Structure 1
Amino acid sequence: MNIRPALAGLVLSVLLTPVAMAQSTNYPMTIENCGRMLRLDAAPQKVVSLGQAMHEILYALDLGDRMVGTAVWLGPVKEQYAAANAAVPRIADEAPSFESVISSKPTLVLSEFEWHVGPQGAVGTREQFADVGIQTYIAPMDCTRKDNSSGGNGRRVEPFTMDQVYQAITELSQIFDVQDRGKALVTGLREREALAVASVAKARDIPVLVWFTSPEMDMDASVAGTNGAPQYILSKLNARNVVTSDEEWPWVGWEVLAKSNPAVIVLAGMDRRFNVGDDPQKKIDFLTSDPVTSQMSAVKARQYFVMRAESMNPSMRTVDGIELLAEKMLDYGLAE
């Protein structure tokens, strides 16, 4: 069953529905961001964005003309943002150097992850940027109820919720004085989420495995734990994560995963090829040929599918993930 036509109609109705005028930003403005006070004397005119979730929020707020550079990409930009993105220089596909960022002469740098801009920033610390007169904003999705002190992916101490994404949209709309756009965007995302949830209201405790990657196909798999965006998707749709670790992406062996016997397996799709398991087709080949995994209920019933990895990161695309899993649950007869 395809719920996309209904969603398209919903999005159109949101865009056409009058939204109460939001209050304009009074500059100078001060906002607390991930433990640091951010003060802006005017709406930023030159911005570098690090991380695809941040790029796409700016494009959705129609702020592409403020962007002077992007970096840290997981895959292609969404089609509706392609034209705006084509006009923005790409500094790097992965983490850029500090020098390449400041050479774009931004007044504000946005970062999806503290791993890139933070105490142990791979690009630079917030202090380094401040020393050259550049403000920094970190996505609330990466610092709210999350411990990044150990570096890398960090560890969530409480589960992610979409409220963190809505906070980022709201704060960025205030920073750029486009509150009306931010309010409409959040309203549309909330309504899409609610429609997808309602479509599978009859589902009950559907066991699901979300597989992100593996260094080699027969090695432990990086799978979704109970505190990240995939867990949020599952919880909204009355599905149960077969992995009970509170780590965001724990490594788990296939003997253990096979015994959990999920009814559905979600495979991350991405353009990068750091690991053999980044390729979703290699995941499918392994599942269907391995003597252990091929006996799992989801594999026997061919109830596995590819979801873009961007939807598995805390972002607006997490709503895309909710919609896609809801559709698949209906297609598999698991929500009747």
Structure 2
Amino acid sequence: MFHKKLIAAALTAVCFALPAQAETSYPLTLKNCGVDVTFDAAPKSTVSVGQAATEILYSLGLGDKVVGTGVWFTEVLPEYKDLNAKIERLADNDPSFEAIVAKKPELVTVQYEWHIGPQGIIATREHFKDVGIPTYVLATDCMQKDNSVGSDGTRSEMFKIENIYASVNELSQIFNVPEKGETLVADLKAREAAAAEKAKALGLSDATALFWFSSAEMDVDPYVAGGKGAPAYMMEKLNLRNVIESDEEWPTVSWETIARANPNVIVIAEMDRRRFLADDVEKKLEFLKNDPVASQMDAVKNNRIIIMNGHAMDPSIRNVAALEMLAEKLAGFDLK
């Protein structure tokens, strides 16, 4: 009942705070990751490069505009399984510039700036502009973040989930469905608030955590969540302290260093991607239980290990569901 009342209150607050916007006024110009992008009309088609971008488009009811996708970590959200099956997957990982252009999209919607930024591994924004295709990068990957530092970028400030909401609202404006954007954001905000209240009730004060995404090899330093990314935002909401202090998005840190920090909880990523051996969650669990260093951590000895969808560790609309899941799981641990 509390959850329903909170959602209703949040929806009401947003309705009063934001005037209803039935249509986008064109031409629409947005400053996107330092680049001005202008739309004279809603794009009739888009290729999405990055699962977070794809799932936002689906959540806004824009699946019929998506003509190709790429960069997948795991299965699409269950409610979009049938829709996604009808759309061409250009690549599980990085699609080529030629494959994208061949779909003749009126927009390329991108999750990570490093795919199409100044050193874009697919192409640069200028390359797409030269063939008449505008690009949009999710605000989550450039606001308060420098993608020229570190392998996955470095954040100057803590990740804000408001950047997710900004991306949702901007895409809804671009595609002329602003009301759908407002509705989606209102729902996410209400769920976020309810999860935070549930976590607050746990009364945690000095609990610590580690988020392990993957590792290039099982016996090398793992990729773990830095101190200012999406997992750090979740930990802050849950009143957990991240044992990793680096501002890099996904720094590599030795198991010896992690073991000395001795986190109370370890969250490990589960995904369908198999770029690295440690992408397999079972391999992660086996390592934690058998490695002579990692197995000595309190979180491993007391089985305080939480399995999370890997895509939910990156900035995406899944962050709210991850927050809900973590609050539920933490309630089963004795961390006071």
Cα distance 1:152–1:315, how it changes in 2: closer, same or farther (>3 A)? Answer: same
Aligned-partner Cα distance in 1 for 2:322–2:209: 14
Maintained 8 Å contact 1:267/1:280: yes
Aligned-partner Cα distance in 2 for 1:309–1:231: 14
Aligned-partner Cα distance in 1 for 2:157–2:298: 31
Matched residues, percent identical? 48
Secondary structure at the aligned position of 1:82 is classed as helix
Using the size of structure 1 for normalisation, the TM-score is 0.92
Could you list the per-position Cα deviations for residues 264-312 of structure 1 after superposition, in whole angstroms to 9, with x for gaps in the alignment? 1000111122222211111111111223222211111111021011111
Counting matched residue pairs gives 331
Maintained 8 Å contact 1:209/1:224: yes
Aligned-partner Cα distance in 2 for 1:155–1:47: 28
Name the structure 2 match of 1:258.
Answer: 259
Name the structure 2 match of 1:68.
Answer: 67
Counterparts of residues 138-153 of structure 1 (less than 5 Å): 138-150=137-149, 152-153=151-152
RMSD in angstroms over aligned alpha carbons? 2.2
Maintained 8 Å contact 1:211/1:221: yes
Aligned-partner Cα distance in 1 for 2:70–2:295: 39
Using the size of structure 2 for normalisation, the TM-score is 0.92
Aligned-partner Cα distance in 1 for 2:89–2:291: 40
Name the structure 1 match of 2:293.
Answer: 292
Secondary structure at the aligned position of 1:252 is classed as coil
Aligned-partner Cα distance in 1 for 2:248–2:150: 14
Name the structure 1 match of 2:226.
Answer: 225
Could you list the per-position Cα deviations for residues 47-97 of structure 1 after superposition, in whole angstroms to 9, with x for gaps in the alignment? 111000000000000000111111111111000111221221111111111
Secondary structure at the aligned position of 2:168 is classed as helix
Shift of residue 171, structure 1, vs aligned partner: 0.5
Counterparts of residues 34-183 of structure 1 (less than 5 Å): 34-150=33-149, 152-183=151-182
Cα distance 1:99–1:179, how it changes in 2: closer, same or farther (>3 A)? Answer: same
Secondary structure at the aligned position of 2:79 is classed as helix
Shift of residue 17, structure 1, vs aligned partner: 11
> What one-letter code is carried by the residue in structure 2 that aligns with 1:141?
T
Name the structure 2 match of 1:212.
Answer: 213
Runs of 4+ aligned residues of structure 1 deviating over 6 Å after TM superposition are 5-18
> What one-letter code is carried by the residue in structure 1 that aligns with 2:227?
T
Shift of residue 23, structure 1, vs aligned partner: 4.5
Cα distance 1:87–1:8, how it changes in 2: closer, same or farther (>3 A)? Answer: farther
Aligned-partner Cα distance in 1 for 2:216–2:230: 22
Name the structure 2 match of 1:328.
Answer: 329
Aligned-partner Cα distance in 1 for 2:130–2:252: 39
Maintained 8 Å contact 1:14/1:184: no
Shift of residue 217, structure 1, vs aligned partner: 2.4
Name the structure 2 match of 1:187.
Answer: 186
Maintained 8 Å contact 2:208/2:242: yes
Secondary structure at the aligned position of 1:251 is classed as coil
Aligned-partner Cα distance in 2 for 1:275–1:67: 29
Cα distance 1:211–1:7, how it changes in 2: closer, same or farther (>3 A)? Answer: farther
Tell me if 1:311 matches 2:309.
no
> What one-letter code is carried by the residue in structure 2 that aligns with 1:58?
L
Aligned-partner Cα distance in 2 for 1:128–1:152: 23
Shift of residue 150, structure 1, vs aligned partner: 4.9
Secondary structure at the aligned position of 1:255 is classed as helix
Aligned-partner Cα distance in 2 for 1:210–1:314: 14
> What one-letter code is carried by the residue in structure 2 that aligns with 1:176?
F
Structure 2: tracts of 5 or more residues without a match: none
